[in-house]
Amino acid sequence: MVLLSDGRDDDPGSIGLEKLLRTLERERDTAHPVRVYTIAYGGQADRASLRRIAQATQGRSFEASSPADLQRVLLASLTE
């Protein structure tokens, strides 16, 4: 799965990062893993949170600061 986001948790109704990480750990299926490849988009992106989500699923985290970067990292994430 590829997740393009600024990574910022600004929704008061969300489950929050720590609960998300616990849920990902609890629901991990080692026989059929779903890896999350995160793309932190924009200069104000919460790269650390997106990196933690990717690591929790044995995925990888990428950064795209500009639209020009986006094409490169999107292609890289899809060819992992």
The arithmetic mean of pLDDT across residues 5-32, rounded, is: 93
User: Which superfamily, per CATH, for 2-78?
Assistant: von Willebrand factor, type A domain (3.40.50.410)
Contact predicate 9/18, CB 8 Å: no
Domain residue ranges in the chain:
2-78
- Predicted model pTM: 0.88
Please choose, from the candidates 13, 20, 8, the residue with its C-alpha nearest in 3D space to the C-alpha of residue 55: 20
Q: Evaluate if residue 65 carries a pLDDT over 90.
A: no
The predicted structure's pLDDT at residue 41: 93
